[in-house]
Amino acid sequence: MAATIAGRAWTWRTRALAAVFRFGCLLAVAGCATIGGPRPDYDPTKPHHTPGGFRNVGEYEKSTASTLEWAAYWFDLAFVKSAGADKLPRGLVLSPAQVRRGLRRAQRYAASLTWIGHATTLMRVGKTTVLTDPFFSDFAAMAPLLGPRRAVPPALRIEDLPAIDVILISHNHYDHLDKPSLRRLARRNRNATVLVPLGNARFIRDLGFARVIEMDWYDRRRVAGLTFVSLPAQHGSRRGLFDSNRALWGGWGIIGQGRRIFFTGDTGMSSVFRQARRRAGPFDTAIVSIGAYAPRSREREDHATPEQTVEIARIMGARTVIATQWATMDLADEPLAEPGERFRRAPGLGLRKKLIRIGETMRL
């Protein structure tokens, strides 16, 4: 028995060391691939552009976490954190039968949204089907042993999705730009149009999509009967050690069929939303990310609190705010169920707050 336990321990250590080795090699390759001169899309007249990439603008609180604290966080995320599904409220995750019933009802709606999990939503606006930040994998990492594992499976499998017209990517972090998911989607939806922030198009094309459009903040494109606007967010981008902020990040505006929908992607609180309201708003519905905010010393620059997301929605002119990106993975130090509880208790500021369940479909 002791020998068996020791053997299992050795196997775990071997797998972990192998994963670390792969991780280092991949980071080195990714870094070498991105080091270089000014980007070809660099525009010195735009304050969020830099010769080597992009930066946040406006007024915002900066992280005060030390390098040691960040290192401890990444180790914890890679090797310690568990999925934590047992910590979720009862009834938060719908059964497959409930999900199917909701989708059937949605066929009667002029516009609808289904929360698949994390930042992945399926929207129907008129006859156009939109998928946001498709993440269907078990792990958010370049290798399965080196990242957080999802607590609950996606409410829909890729095989169960309808034909997708437009895919929106907010930024290139692994829980938002997931290569395995996108590769599988490309095989089934090769003619879908993928809209991405600047610096991400080549990556997406390599996964098999034929129609990929890069957009800078405030660019507009008409696709599949809807208007899409690239909007600023307070965040960042990285997939390796040496490519920090080489690609742009942001949110999206979706306009058409009498709807004006704002999808935040990942974001911290910033004055940039007041400018976004003036230049592209207002929006009537905001889909916000409410998790991964603790501790504030580390996360305040990149992830808003649930209360701040309601304020962001109010600033953007929304009448309805829909909470997503919580309860799917344990990405920070707050308890897995806490974001939903805080969002529910947050002052409404005159908005209709919707704490949607995983798999639930609602009318927009």
Q: How many CA within 13 A on the CB side of residue 83? A: 12
> How far is residue 215's CA from residue 206's CA, in Å, rounded to a whole number?
18
Q: Would you call 99 exposed, middle or buried from its count of C-beta atoms within 10 A (0-12, 13-18, 19+)? A: buried
Share of the chain above pLDDT 70, in %: 87
Instruction: State pLDDT tens for residues 113-141.
Output: 999 999 999 999 999 999 999 999 999 98
Residue 163: both structure tokens together: 């034909």
Domain boundaries, the chain: 85-363
Over residues 222-235, the mean pLDDT reads 98
Q: What is the pTM of this model?
A: 0.89
* Beta bridge partner(s), residue 115: 121
DSSP 61-122: PPP---HHHHHHHHHIIIII----GGGSPTTSB--HHHHHHHHHHHTTSSEEEEEEETTEEE
Report residue 31 CA to chain centroid gap: 22
Query: What residues contact 45, with CB distance under 8 A and at least 6 apart?
Result: none
Strands 128-132 and 166-168, sheet pairing: parallel
The topology under which CATH files domain 85-363 is Metallo-beta-lactamase; Chain A (3.60.15)
* Beta bridge partner(s), residue 361: 114
Instruction: State pLDDT tens for residues 166-187.
Output: 999 999 999 999 999 999 999 9
Report residue 344 CA to chain centroid gap: 21
Give residue 155's pLDDT band: very low, low, confident or very high (50, 70, 90).
very high
